[in-house]
Amino acid sequence: MKLYPLLLCALLAACSSQAPSEKANSAGGKDNKQSSQTSANQAPSKITPKGEFAEVDISKSQQAMDAITNGKGETINTILEAPNDYAPPVLYLISAIMFDNEYEDQATFWFYVAQLRARSDANKSGDDTAHAAVSQLNQRFGAKITPYSMSNPERLKAIVSQALEWDGKQKRNYDARWIALQSKDVLTESTIDFAPKQKWAEIDALTRNQFRQGLEQALAKIKQPASAK
């Protein structure tokens, strides 16, 4: 299995300096190589969470991401055996790797599972800046997957429907507050503005409904030009 090293920010940050596909495309050129080295040298300064932020345990997810980016491809199989144990950035990462290894449909499934979960976790946050992390994750890891999925509306509908059904039957074991570590509040606050845990399942269900509605709207837009002819 071919693995592309990622320059990941601390604390499962959504702002990796390059997506796997971008890293692959830039491997050949001297100027691009120098640019990559510059990006690595300009990694953001480490943030030390305080109070409740420091209590958010992301160690298992961080260790998995570190193992994958260090070339330990067998870690992906470990993740797939218990995907509910890992925060969404891990699922985003393996989806990109799957796609680059020509497992396009499996990659699409995990990409949308990751996106769904990241969105629902952001919806639990009282800090609106948490949603920016989701947007960055989608942009970085969906560079190839999104165009592929949009190229076939029926396939997209089937895979996303499968992702929604699967997620609805699962119990998420990771700490949804990982998203708070990507919000602006982590810089200045010690208390996390987050929905109480007893509300999480309700928010997850609501997000699945919103996700399904968004899918229907996207499919309608994709099909509109053809039907208008």
Q: How far apart are CA 185 and CA 190, in angstroms?
A: 8
Question: Percent of the chain at pLDDT above 70?
Answer: 78
Residue 194 — φ and ψ, nearest 5°? -145, 150
Do the domain assignments include residue 183? yes
Do the domain assignments include residue 42? no
Q: Which residue has the higher pLDDT, 202 or 55?
A: 202
Do the domain assignments include residue 126? yes
Do the domain assignments include residue 181? yes
Q: What is the mean pLDDT of the chain?
A: 82
pLDDT at 16 over 80: no
3-state SS class at 181: helix
Q: Which of 108, 119, 134, 130 is nearest to 193 (CA)?
A: 130
Do the domain assignments include residue 53? yes
Q: Which of 142, 125, 161 is nearest to 89 (CA)?
A: 142
- Enter the pTM of the model: 0.79
The 10s digit of each residue's pLDDT in 91-144 is 999 999 999 999 999 999 999 999 999 999 999 999 988 999 999 999 999 999
What DSSP character marks residue 47?
Answer: P
- Can you give the residue range of the structural domain that contains 51? 47-224
Q: How many domains does the chain have?
A: 1
Do the domain assignments include residue 125? yes
Do the domain assignments include residue 39? no
Residue position matching structure tokens 């699922």: 91
